[in-house]
Amino acid sequence: MAQTRISGKSLQNPFRIHGTVGGEYFTDRKDELAKFRAILEEPAAKMLVYGHRRMGKSSTLELAVSSVNRTGGHALLADLSTASTFADISNRILSGAARSMGKRWGDLISDWVKMLQGSVSLKPDPLTGALLPSFDVSIRTDTLERQRETLTTVLDSLNSLAKKKKMNVGLVLDEFQEITRFGSESAEWHLRGVIQSHQNVSYIFAGSKEHIIRAMLEKGRAFYRMLDEYHFAPIERQHMAAWIDERLASVSLKPQGAGESCVRLAGPRTRDIVQVARKCVDRSENRGAIAYNEVAAAYVEIIDDMDDSIRTWWNTMTGQQQNVLRAVAGSGTGLTTRDTRRRFSLGGSGTPTNAASSLLKDGHLVRTDNGSGYVFDSPFVRGWVITHALPDMGLALLPTHIASETSEYQSPKAK
């Protein structure tokens, strides 16, 4: 378990929030794991996994990949979140194979490298020392067309190799929508053309930028009707609350409704919930009981920790966007009602909708489940706006106020 220093003592923190998680730090997702595993083992299957950020997609996909490899199959995950060129995608696929398949990769790589005609070499990973294959750095400056050809060769050769060895390889391309940043629509058509003929590779495309993904799937676009779609939903609320309580109890803390309070304040994203729970442990100093007030204090401390970055972001917003953000934080009645427009100086009914659309596009706001309103992507940004930006207009609310809260999400009584 992770060690946290508290007042000179170290306390085991049973929650992790950095990177992907597995083992005791991971809960639930049995249906998703079974589904992803099945796709990774089914020749030529193609699936799209999409959902909001910080839900646990990458962790679940990584676990599905390792479960396939542990039981004699072959699967790999390539993280494309930072890729800037097609060449980077090729490198991520190669290094993903080495990471995911570990020692069993040995035979495959020599054959694969041979097929890639000597342009690939093995370099040690500075963190683990493991040898990772990558293309010569010069391919990043190749023409776009040449880089696409290289990616085609990587994928085609993986398919031929799998065919020759009479096996299937499951390939996860995580944050695949990033190809639209440097490849435009033609990149999507290119990728479609390459993968649709593969009978020995199955593909899972995963992503969290929903508006980009939705656009990629529209009629007339390359991925229209090509992929089975799987919406990656939140972990069930009661399960999450009970798991948090159980983990707190495992380090001898007494969760007096703490799990439920974490879920209420943090909302549906798994990482946000775990982050509040983790902060509760950091602050607990072995005091034993964690009731609603401690959870609220942990939530406020996270908002304070993020003050610099949120303030910098806030200052990049236009006045109109700032008012829309204030309205989403402070009003539960939607942006276009006359009362909200007047109270938050939003102007005519079209103006707040336009500002909200740009905030939606940039991922700062998301639509409510019923599609009729907006909520903050991050519960911590919501708390910051309540604490720091509502006072500008003379409105004082508790940082724990949740404007969108319905009767289903009632606050537990403060103890």
59 is a site residue for ligand ATP (CB under 6 A): yes
C-alpha distance from residue 202 to each of 76, 216, 411 (Å)? 10, 19, 45
* Widest distance between CA atoms in the chain: 71
Q: Is 17 in the site for ligand ATP (CB under 6 A)?
A: yes
Residue 25: how many CA atoms within 13 Å on its side-chain side? 22
Range in contact with ligand ATP (rule: CB under 6 A) among 53-61, 103-111, 256-264, 353-361? 53-61
Report how many residues bind Mg ion under the rule CB under 5 A.
1
279 part of the interface to ligand ATP, by CB under 6 A: no
The number of angstroms, rounded, from the C-alpha of 183 to the middle of its chain's C-alpha atoms is 22
Candidate residues 11, 13, 14, 26; the one interacting with ligand ATP per rule CB under 6 A? 26
Asked if 64 contacts 36 with a C-beta cutoff of 8 angstroms, the reply is yes
Q: Does residue 204 interact with ligand ATP by CB under 6 A?
A: no
94: helix, coil or strand?
helix
Helix or strand or coil: residue 394?
A: coil
Closest to Mg ion by CB, 77 vs 98, is: 77
327 binds ligand ATP per the rule CB under 6 A? no
Based on the shown chain and the rule CB under 6 A, indicate whether residue 264 belongs to the binding site for ligand ATP: no
Residue 21 lies near ligand ATP (rule: CB under 6 A): yes
Secondary structure in 3-state letters for 198-257: CCCEEEEEEECCHHHHHHHCCCCCCCCCCCEEEECCCCCHHHHHHHHHHHHHHCCCEECC
Which residue, 294 or 377, has its beta carbon nearer to ligand ATP?
Answer: 377
* Candidate list 55, 77, 325, 328; residue touching ligand ATP; CB under 6 A: 55
Number of C-beta neighbours around residue 136 at 10 A: 11
When asked if residue 80 is in the footprint of ligand ATP (CB under 6 A), the reply is: no
Q: How far is the CB of 16 from Mg ion (least distance, A)?
A: 14
Query: Least distance from C-beta 232 to ligand ATP, angstroms?
Result: 7
Burial class for 296, CB neighbours closer than 10 Å (0-12, 13-18, 19+): buried
Contact with Mg ion (CB under 5 A) among 16, 52, 54, 58: 58
28 binds, among Mg ion, ligand ATP, none (CB under 5 to 8 A by kind): ligand ATP
Judged by the rule CB under 6 A, the positions of this chain that interact with ligand ATP are: 16-17, 19-21, 25-29, 53-59, 208, 270-271, 274
